[in-house]
Structure 1
């Protein structure tokens, strides 16, 4: 059994942990060349080359706040389709849930002001909590996703493992998503 974290991006982060939480593999996948769709196709193939049958997977959900939303959507959906084709199941983790699991949200600086939950804060909290550090934000995020996968597995298997409340909240919310609100149509003339 391996716990896998996937952070789909133009440079996709991949981390595999063993059943004890030890890092087996960490890699930033880039594909071949710089021209799409070849680069995207070969990156998705790289991801799939690292996958094994019984992997327990978490993948970061879509965050469309960037200019590259269409490209990132293509990479993200391409990876999901390749996983589905091979029969893999996965859990989606929202970008803010990932930050919360790291402990990067709700922190205050020495001046009492809130610290922004940016990539630097996520990396700092990851180093503090798990003694894991990478020069790549994508690998750091993939590590956190693998730790979330490990947490979900412990939770669903009833294993005795203690998590701080904020991490338990993240795991619970992934396993028990709130139903999406239905959009109501505006009536004409109202």
Structure 2
């Protein structure tokens, strides 16, 4: 699981077996969030059944903990995340590597970290006034319109 907080990129890892591992990861993620933060979470995407079950458990766990703490979050569809980087919504994770570098000068070998970075850019565009390209403005309009 990757997260970008206040400009700091972190790849979170925890030990243990499920459900202990899932609970530890959810607790670490939510502990990093302040009540006034803007939180963007990638919506659930399709994956292999066993992987989807774990990701769904973690995803719902994070959402429930944020809800319990009164922290709102914004869900960003996978296609919107890819569109914000200038790609088609059905592109592969590898297709994002070059556009992310061209737009922001960022590169990382982990597709999870790259996704977290794009979510951070979406969050920044929601929270601050930043110069956006037309396709990025379209994504922000959709995300904010929910």
Under a length normalisation based on structure 1, what TM-score does the superposition of the two structures give?
0.71
Q: For residue 59 of structure 2, what is the aligned residue in structure 1? A: 76
Q: For residue 38 of structure 1, what is the aligned residue in structure 2? A: 20
| Residue 137 of structure 2, aligned match among 143, 165, 168 | 168
Q: For residue 125 of structure 1, what is the aligned residue in structure 2? A: 99
Q: For residue 29 of structure 1, what is the aligned residue in structure 2? A: 12
Give the Å deviation of 1:66. 2.7
Structure number with greater Rg is 1
Which structure dedicates a bigger proportion of its chain to helix? 2
Unaligned runs of 5+ in 1: 1-11, 18-22, 107-115, 178-190
Give the Å deviation of 1:153. 2.2
SS in 2 for 1:126: helix
Q: For residue 121 of structure 2, what is the aligned residue in structure 1? A: 147
SS in 1 for 2:75: strand
Give the Å deviation of 1:65. 3.5
Looking at structure 2, the residues matched to 82 and 123 of structure 1 have their Cα atoms a distance apart, in angstroms, of: 32
Under a length normalisation based on structure 2, what TM-score does the superposition of the two structures give?
0.90
| Residue 102 of structure 1, aligned match among 73, 81, 85 | 85
Give the Å deviation of 1:104. 2.1
Give the Å deviation of 1:171. 0.6
Give the Å deviation of 1:69. 1.8
Unaligned runs of 5+ in 2: none
Give the Å deviation of 1:97. 0.5
Q: For residue 4 of structure 1, what is the aligned residue in structure 2? A: none
CA RMSD of aligned residues (A): 1.7
Q: Which runs of 4+ in 1 moved over 2 A?
A: 64-67
